[in-house]
Amino acid sequence: MDLAGSEVRPRKPFHNAAARLGLVAVPVAFFALFFAYPVAAIVTRGLKTGGSWQFGRITEVLAQPDIRHVLWFTTWQALASTALTLLIALPGAYVFARFDFPGKQVLRAVVTVPFVLPTVVVGTAFLALVGRGGLLDEWWGVRLDTTVWAILLAHVFFNYAVVVRTVGGLWAQLDPRQEEAARMLGASRLTAWRTVTLPALAPAVAAAALMVFLFTFTSFGVVQILGGPTFSTLEVEIYRQTSEIFDLSTAAVLTMIQFVAVGAVLALHAWTVRRRESALRLVDASVTARRPRGAGEWGLLAGVVAIIAVLLVLPLAVLVQRSLDAPDFGYYRALTSADGGVFLVAPIEAVGNSLEYALAATAIAVTVGGLAAAALTRRDAGRFVRGFDALLMLPLGVSAVTVGFGFLISLDEPPLDLRQSWILVPLAQALVGVPFVVRTMLPVLRAVDHRLREAAAVLGASPWRVWREVDLPMVRRALLIAAGFAFAVSLGEFGATVFIARPDNPTLPVAVARLLGRAGDLNYGQAMALSTILMVVCAVALLVLERLRTDRTGEF
């Protein structure tokens, strides 16, 4: 036995190191080849001329008045969208956290639907509501498209669920007896909330605010559709500089600015999440919700339901109604024939293309994200592996337009000549799906008792068998939820796909954008019909997620 033990112990560090490197090798290679390399290629081509770097171009670009206006508007609208979202969504977070009422689970699903919708659908829905011939235009002669209010309201629509889930998930687990004790000592309701509850909620509010700011700072589809020629964010301007003006040096400078800004936001987000995880004492969320009491609480519930109906449900209902304006489902039937213009195939084929691409992207995202999450949960994870955790979030904030265009100019030579390959689109979509997979699986994997893994290893199980016999049964539900999120976000990816989707194989978001870019009621109606189809597919995926998720899950 001693001899056997002496033979096993010296090999254990080697096996641990090999297992750790094996887990992290695939995610590192994936992000290096399909994220870092394309982004670096864009920056290099834009700022390097004749073998020398032209860093003076940065000053030249920042000196342009129109670029300064884009930077100002990008920051201003992100701050305004964040403040407006918090103002409107925090009452909803309280209602979902503290109240128990009929239809709560259905309403929770309704609230979450906008978050998984592609930004193109969100922009199209608000265009149907506030644009030319929209509901407000027909009823009161009011048009809000190409105004900043349309953009702000669309951002609130998209990010309402972020605040409700992130803040409400924590609020539901705060012990209400702490606030009650403060009131018994003479504090008013407002004072008790301000001195007891608000400090405890501050990390979650900060995390939600930073997430909303990140999503709105990098907004593309919403601003592209609703902003018109008047308003442009950094993401929209990068797209314009690369695809319309072909000024790669300006696009490279804007990419670098956005990269620095997003990195700062993600660092703040990581800090707030650590505070949230380590500084609070929580209770079971199932014991804190109760039936509303009194006219004030029932009025608050009614007000939140009304806001959800007007802000979240109405735009989607108008979208569906606009898709049915033509008699005998005319817009839907028109999708089955090629128009001989922008599309080389019938627009309806975009549905099948999107589903095939999304399934492939989901398989890639689950594989890469699952390996990354497993590496991050190992107790012997080194500093490099822990630092890789932050890098996994970068694709959510770095310009998808830059990544898509980077694919075209970097993956064009052997052995990575993929420009004509169908796999290019799923690879771009998987970049966005991987962070959702990691964030969904990581908390569950960290909750698995490491002694179970160690016991299986002592009994001779290989790392693969340890994962299959110990981890997988415990994280199977989280894995399915992660796959669902990856599928939904892959289905709606637009920024990168608009560059690399071939005309004979368009995805749903690309097809919608191309139809909206063409004049005529038929094109507009077909865009509404395709957006409705995309919305239904995303909603079905979300309903599946709602059946799988646990009530204790407070974040995405």
- Of the spans 5-19, 154-168, 406-420, 435-449, which averages the highest pLDDT? 154-168
* Tens digits of residue pLDDT in 278-337: 444 445 445 566 788 888 888 999 999 999 998 889 888 888 888 888 888 888 988 887
pLDDT given at position 361: 94
For residues 486 and 353, give the distance between their C-alpha atoms in angstroms, rounded to a whole number: 16
Instruction: State the CB neighbour count (10 A cutoff) for residue 13.
Output: 10
Pair of tokens at residue 298: 């029932």
For residues 111 and 539, give the distance between their C-alpha atoms in angstroms, rounded to a whole number: 11
Average of per-residue pLDDT across 388-404: 75
* Contact predicate 34/427, CB 8 Å: yes
For residues 62 and 64, give the distance between their C-alpha atoms in angstroms, rounded to a whole number: 5
Give 375's contacts (C-beta < 8 A, 6+ positions apart): 20, 23, 24, 27, 381, 385, 388
Task: Name which of 369, 368, 385 is nearest 20 in CA terms.
Answer: 385
Average of per-residue pLDDT across 441-463: 70
Is the pLDDT at 124 greater than 50? The verdict is yes
CA atoms in the 13 A half-sphere facing the CB of 277 = 10
Is the pLDDT at 440 greater than 80? The verdict is no
Average of per-residue pLDDT across 255-274: 76
Is the pLDDT at 102 greater than 60? The verdict is yes
Average of per-residue pLDDT across 46-61: 77
For residues 212 and 117, give the distance between their C-alpha atoms in angstroms, rounded to a whole number: 15
Average of per-residue pLDDT across 483-509: 83
Q: Pick the residue with more confidence: 391 or 348?
A: 348
For residues 526 and 405, give the distance between their C-alpha atoms in angstroms, rounded to a whole number: 27
Give 60's contacts (C-beta < 8 A, 6+ positions apart): none
Task: Quickly state the pLDDT bin for 6 (edges 50, 70, 90).
Answer: very low
Coil/strand/helix, residue 552: coil
For residues 448 and 455, give the distance between their C-alpha atoms in angstroms, rounded to a whole number: 13
Is the pLDDT at 376 greater than 60? The verdict is yes
- Of the spans 94-103, 178-187, 439-448, which averages the highest pLDDT? 94-103
Is the pLDDT at 227 greater than 50? The verdict is yes
pLDDT given at position 81: 95
pLDDT given at position 143: 63
Phi/psi zone of residue 103: left (φ > 0), alpha (ψ -120 to 50 degrees), beta? Answer: left
Q: Pick the residue with more confidence: 405 or 448?
A: 405
Which amino acid is residue 258, in one-letter code? Q
Is the pLDDT at 270 greater than 50? The verdict is yes
Give 4's contacts (C-beta < 8 A, 6+ positions apart): none
pTM for the model stands at 0.77
